[in-house]
Each structure stands twice: as structure tokens, then as C-alpha cells.
Homo-oligomer: A and B are copies of this chain.
Amino acid sequence: MKIEAVDFFYLAMPQITTEGDGSQDALLVRVAAGGHVGWGECEASPLTSIAAYVAPMSHGACRPVMASVAGQTIDTPADIARIAHAIEMDSMDLLQAPHTWSGIEMALWDILGKARGVPVWHLLGYRRAHNKQPYASILFGDTPQETLARAQGVRNSGFSAAKFGWGPFGHGTLSDDADQLDAAREGLAEEATLLIDAGQVFGEDIEAAAARLPHLERVRALWFEEPFLGSAYECCATLAARSLVVKLAGGEASHNVFMARHTIDNGRVSFVQIDCGRIGGIGPAKAVADYAVARGVTYVNHTFTSHLALAASLQPYAGLAAHRICEYPAAPKVLARDIAGEPLKPDDNGEIRLPETPGLGISVDTAAIAKYLVDIEIRMRNKTLYATPRLV
């Protein structure tokens, strides 16, 4: 099958706010090859990722992503890996390239699965897709009262696990954070799993992060996510050594397999969180899952956007029964909800099951999302490099 078309669609809510909510816009990729159509989604900054696809070449190691993708043949997973390697070498100096490629890579797996009539997890070598326990991923409220209300909402929705993150956490006093943690725990069921995401707020300040550990223990948080800057592995390892009960989690910013491995080996996390929309798609994420298994670390998806991104992000560890927990965007913006024709709803046991349908198992509802489409044009020397294509 020859890659005949790669189209990017930038979707956005009418208003974008500064809250840490990644579902306010989306960059979808539609790829056509061999009579099949595949879909993927890139994280984040749609305009920049589009530019990385169409930018003129700077030199041999700084070619646009398009140079390694357009017109290529894909008939096996090895073909996807071959294109990934071409981008690794030929877009070496184009920093944004892994984010742009991630969405394309998902779409190529979607096409391969559809062409063979099997789900993507089957192509990855898994015999079955095990059910996952979704955790509702939401933001701290501006006040403990708001956080309490959100936690009660999560409980009423039937989730057995929830993650609270960002918002005011780490920006105020120790006592402010304790109030937020108490509110989160109070609103959840006694037996519910509670996860906390600091959103890198402590920079490299180990003591500030460590000061939160006793209260994190008190509210029985399972993990403390990204207390430090994404590449500050040493800080993370130091805190991990000091935290006997609460585990460390991180890795979402990894834009190649090495970074994820370093998060495990040098950051000493117990949970490695991979965003398939950043790391280069499903193939490298599967390599991280294999690595995590070998190191006794639990693999978790990082997903705060649509159910298309969610379906892609669950494939790399679909067959790992012991790696049960999964991030589930519980309160996304309507844009992100409208993308997937068949959202991945929790079943009666509150579990998520990946579809058995070929490819990623998610259709994109083009009619529903047309209203979010952002009209973009990039022109160079009076020649159009990119213009928003027709969605339908």
C-alpha cells in the first residue's frame, strides 16, 4: 500500500483558557493508503506540528516530516519502523518532528489493522486486550470546595480511581495543598484509588516536593506524578528513595524511547506514563511497555484529549494484564468528546475494553467536528505550503 494522502485537521474550542486542560484543541491526522483511511492525533500545538510537516528542508538532517512519509509504502509493521527511523535521522534537528510524526504513525497502524482485519494490539503481538481500570483524570478546583465537588462527581460517575492535578497545587502553602488533598480524598469512595499530579510545579526543589509526602501518605495517594521538571531525573530518583509508601510517576514528555527509559532507570519511577501523541506513536510506546515489564515498572497511558488518542494510547499495553490502570479523560471539552464516533465507555464493572474491530477501532465523526475546524494557511513565496483540507 502506498501512502497517497496525509491531511492535518486543526480543531479548537471557540475559547481557549489557561487551565491545564489538554482537550481544548486537537490536531487530527488522516492518512489514505491502499484504499484504507487511518486516523491519528498529535500532541500538542497544532499549528507548530503542521509547520513541522510542511517546512522547507534546512539541510539533510533537518528535513520536514513529509519528506520521510509521502509516497512511502506500508505493508507491515516493519515499514512503519522504517519510516520512523528515516525521520529519526533526516529530521534529527527538527525538534517538533516527533509530535508531528506521532499522529501519522497511529494512522498507519490504523490502516495496517484495517487492511488485515485485525485490531492494532493484535499486530503488536498481543493475543487479547485485557480490560483496564480507568482513572478519571481531572484538574484540582480553584478551592478545596470545588475539588470536593469534582471528587463527588467522579464517585457518582462510578469511577474506582481518580487523578487530581495542576490548578493551585504547589502554588500556595503546604496547608493549602493539604486542604486540596483532603478534599479530593473526602469526595471519593473509601476504597477508591487516588493519584496526584503536580504538573512539574516544584521545578528542581526536592524539599518542597518532599514536604508534601506525609500528607500524600495520609490521603493514601498511590502515586505522586511529575513533582519536578520533565528531565530532572535526579530529583525524581532522590524523592523516590525518600518516599517509602507513595510511588513516583512520570514520563509523559518523552519524545523518544530513550527518554522513557531514562525516566525509568534514572528517575526511578514506579509508573511510566507514555503519551502516544508525543513519543512517536504506538511502536515506540510498545518498546517502552516491553522495557517497563523487564524492569518491574508499571506502564500507564497519558491521555488528556479524545477517545481516538485514548484508543491509540491503550494499544501498546493492551495485552499486559498486570498493568491495569489507565488514564481516562473524564471531563474533556465537548470538542474532544465529539471526535470519536464510538467512545470507550466504562462497562458495568467500570472497566474499559478496547474494541475488537480492525485498526484502532474508533471512527472519527467528521460531521460532528466540522464546526471546530480552524482555517489555516501557510504561504511561502506566494506558494501555499498548507491550507486546511476538506474534512468530508
Chain A residues with CB under 8 Å of chain B are 12, 16-22, 24-25, 43-48, 50-52, 54-64, 85, 88-89, 92-96, 98-99, 166, 199-200, 203, 229-233, 253, 255-256, 258-259, 262, 266, 278, 374-382, 385
Residue in contact with A94 in the complex, picked from B48, B92, B256, B374, CB distance below 8 Å: B48
A95 touches B18 (CB 8 A): no
CA distance A59 to B22 in the complex (A): 6
Known contacts A47-B378, A51-B48, A382-B375; is-contact A253 B92 (Cβ 8 Å): yes
Residue in contact with A374 in the complex, picked from B19, B64, B380, CB distance below 8 Å: B380
A46, A60, A200 interface centre (most CB from chain B within 10 Å): A60
Complex copy number for this chain: 2
Residue in contact with A56 in the complex, picked from B12, B99, B378, CB distance below 8 Å: B12
Contacts of A24 in B (CB 8 A): 58-59
A18, A166, A256 interface centre (most CB from chain B within 10 Å): A18
B253 touches A233 (CB 8 A): no
Contacts of A47 in B (CB 8 A): 51, 54-56, 378, 380, 385
B375 touches A376 (CB 8 A): no
Contacts of A203 in B (CB 8 A): 85
CB distance from A170 to the nearest CB of B (A): 11
CB distance from A16 to the nearest CB of B (A): 5
B20 touches A59 (CB 8 A): yes
B375 touches A60 (CB 8 A): no
Known contacts A52-B96, A92-B253, A377-B378; is-contact A44 B60 (Cβ 8 Å): no
A59 touches B375 (CB 8 A): no
CA distance A278 to B94 in the complex (A): 10
CA distance A44 to B64 in the complex (A): 11
**Interchain residue pairs with CB less than 8 A apart (28):** A12-B56, A16-B58, A18-B57, A18-B60, A18-B63, A22-B62, A24-B58, A44-B58, A44-B62, A44-B94, A45-B52, A45-B95, A45-B96, A46-B55, A47-B54, A47-B380, A48-B48, A50-B51, A92-B230, A95-B255, A96-B96, A229-B256, A229-B258, A231-B256, A374-B380, A375-B380, A376-B378, A377-B378
Contacts of A96 in B (CB 8 A): 45, 48, 52, 95-96
CB distance from A386 to the nearest CB of B (A): 9
Known contacts A47-B51, A48-B55, A374-B381; is-contact A93 B62 (Cβ 8 Å): no
Contacts of A374 in B (CB 8 A): 56, 380-381
**Beta-carbon nearest neighbor of A381 in chain B:** B375
Residue in contact with A229 in the complex, picked from B60, B88, B93, B229, CB distance below 8 Å: B88
B58 touches A46 (CB 8 A): yes
Contacts of A48 in B (CB 8 A): 48, 51-52, 55, 94-96
CA distance A229 to B91 in the complex (A): 12
Contacts of A50 in B (CB 8 A): 51
Contacts of A17 in B (CB 8 A): 59-60
